[in-house]
Structure 1
Amino acid sequence: MASRKEILQHRAARIRRQIKAVANGRLRLSVHRSNENIYAQIIDDVRGQTVAAASTLDGDLKKSLKSGAGCEAASAVGKLIAQRAKKAGVKEVVFDRGAFIYHGRIKALAEAAREGGLSF
């Protein structure tokens, strides 16, 4: 029987494979969630570069939040990644939730990024 880690890695690889098939040259908004923080990156897979990144560990954001583990923190990171993407000239991305289900903090980050101007 496969371990939980192997199952999550397989799920993340499956999601990433599906995303790359429909990306049509768009950049990827990759999200990672831990028990204490949430991280987001906009990645150019063709060049292998991170265009923009944001997390609850960023200086100003960390001071203004009570905790980095809530939906409020996730929506703040979503707004921040949208601002940084606009600054980098990115408007359209493909959302990569990884092995995480689209619920709670992941959903809050995605909705905030959409409100901030990212299209996916």
Structure 2
Amino acid sequence: MPGLGNVIRGLARGANRHKEMTGKRGNKDFQPKLGAVETGRFIKGKWVNIKEMIPEFVVPDLQDFELQPYVSLKCPDVENKPLTAKEIFDACVAPTVEADFKAGKYDNDIQNQSSIQSS
């Protein structure tokens, strides 16, 4: 009897803590429908598996693969210093700007540009 369990739960002290967990009672991370993927539907009261809904795992053949699927805890720690904005600019943008400047795409007259901007 499903009702009997609810009655007994209601009679116990602190019954509110033992209510069924629903989306309204859970925190922001509680999602009642997350978990196992449904592989079919109820059709006329009977569960029917649908082939398209069954997950298919594609695993590559690793027979002659050189690497192993384990990383030892004894491997050395790699420590890199944080990059600055200048280092990122020098690595990514500076070569393009220098090539464009040498090709003559930029005007050398800075005062002429500042007078155009102020107008």
Q: TM-score range by the shorter chain?
A: under 0.3
Structure with more relative contact order (C-alpha pairs < 8 Å, separation 6 or more): 1
TM-score by length of 2: 0.16
TM-score by length of 1: 0.16
Which of these two proteins has the greater Rg computed from alpha carbons? 2
